[in-house]
């Protein structure tokens, strides 16, 4: 494990709260109930279980050393992704991953990429929410870089999901805004002069998630896929028809934190 990754994990443990709470008030009788979600963190280390770099980090599950717990967390995460976006992934898998394997096999392989960090929150043993991300390098984010070749250090958000029963209580916003952007990314910014900020990929038709990202200041990255400009085509009767190109499958969003 590199000292940088170790430091990154420490920052994540500091900035993501150990519990998340929200209160629900019953509209009929005014009774308030508080739900407390408990944090569990997981990271995917580089190398195998025999690697000397494989160290125990208190309160953060090392996937290679605790495979059974790690697989339980990953399986719960992929199940939540399936509930929320399974239909989209089924349609898009071949284009996104360039093979004919079932999307879940592709997704699980991606989810085990070294240096991914998972921050999950649990409600009595059931996964309530999670975010997964990686400190990595990415191109296509820098304005004015016409060839989209400049590579910058960035926190890439792979997934953020809140189970339906826990939605609309500010959990998504708290995880992204307070913990990831104002917390982790700001702290990483202090370590890295050239650190860019946060980036992510979102299906273009996922309007709810896009609205949340845009509300937090994310914008379409310069190198993101984009719909082309509308064009006109002559009709058989000598008129003109406007052709509006379809949205791309996904957009890349980013948040620059100078
Ligand atoms: C990189 C990626 O992972 S892209 C994929 C993103 N994830 C998904 O699409 C999975 C399915 N969706 C979800 O899990 C959730 O809806 C999330 C993560 C997008 C948002 O989580 P929530 O905890 O519900 O969000 P939260 O309560 O913080 O509300 C955030 C915003 O969503 C909007 N919102 C909240 N409730 C609703 C609702 N019922 N209908 C529409 N919009 C709503 C509001 O605009 C809110 O903004 P505000 O904070 O200014 O009021």
pLDDT at 54 exceeding the cut of 90: no
Mean pLDDT to the nearest integer, 71-82: 98
Q: Looking at residue 52, what is its pLDDT?
A: 63
Contacts of 91 (CB under 8 A, 6+ apart): none
Nearest to 225 by CA among 201, 198, 208: 201
* 31 CA distance to ligand 1 middle (Å): 25
205 contacts 238 by C-beta, under 8 angstroms: no
Interface pTM, i.e. ipTM: 0.93
How high is the pLDDT of residue 220?
97
CA of 24 relative to ligand 1 center, distance in Å? 17
For ligand 1, say whether the CB of 61 is within 6 Å of any of its atoms. no
CA of 113 from ligand 1 middle (Å) equals 26
Q: Is 165 in the pocket of ligand 1 (CB under 6 A)?
A: no
Cα(258) to centroid(ligand 1), Å: 26
pTM for the full predicted model: 0.93
Q: Which domain holds residue 55?
A: 3-256
**Separation of alpha carbons 39 and 44, rounded Å:** 17
* Contact assessment for residue 75 and residue 105, using Cβ atoms and an 8 Å cutoff: no
CA-based nearest residue to 135, from 46, 23, 32, 51: 46
Per-residue model confidence (pLDDT) at position 227: 82
Q: Give the position of tokens 């999307």.
A: 103
The whole-angstrom separation of Cα 247 and Cα 239 is 25
Q: Number of structural domains, the chain?
A: 1
CATH of the domain at 23: 3.40.630.30
Q: Is pLDDT above 90 for 89?
A: yes
168 CB near ligand 1 (under 6 Å): yes
In the chain, what's the furthest Cα-to-Cα distance?
A: 74
């Amino acid at each position: 494990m590199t000292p940088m990754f170790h430091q990154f994990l420490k920052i994540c443990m500091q900035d993501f709260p150990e519990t998340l709470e929200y209160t629900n008030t019953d509209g009929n009788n005014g009774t308030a109930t508080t739900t407390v979600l408990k944090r569990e963190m997981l990271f995917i280390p580089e190398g195998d279980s025999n690697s000397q770099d494989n160290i125990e980090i208190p309160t953060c599950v090392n996937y290679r050393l605790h495979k059974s717990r790690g697989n339980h967390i990953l399986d719960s995460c992929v199940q939540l992704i399936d509930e929320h976006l399974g239909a989209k992934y089924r349609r898009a898998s071949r284009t996104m991953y360039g093979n004919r394997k079932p999307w879940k096999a592709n997704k699980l392989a991606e989810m085990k990429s070294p240096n991914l960090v998972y921050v999950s929150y649990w409600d009595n043993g059931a996964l309530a929410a999670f975010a997964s991300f990686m400190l990595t390098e990415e191109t296509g984010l820098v304005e004015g870089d016409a060839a989209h070749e400049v590579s910058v250090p960035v926190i890439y958000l792979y997934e953020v999901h809140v189970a339906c029963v826990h939605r609309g209580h500010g959990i998504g916003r708290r995880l992204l805004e307070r913990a990831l952007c104002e917390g982790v990314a700001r702290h990483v910014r202090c370590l890295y002069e050239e650190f860019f900020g946060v980036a992510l990929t979102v299906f273009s038709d996922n309007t709810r998630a896009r609205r949340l990202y845009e509300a937090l200041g994310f914008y379409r990255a310069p190198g993101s896929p984009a719909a082309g400009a509308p064009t006109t085509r002559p009709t058989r009767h000598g008129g003109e028809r406007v052709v509006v190109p379809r949205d791309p499958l996904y957009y890349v969003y980013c948040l620059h934190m100078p």
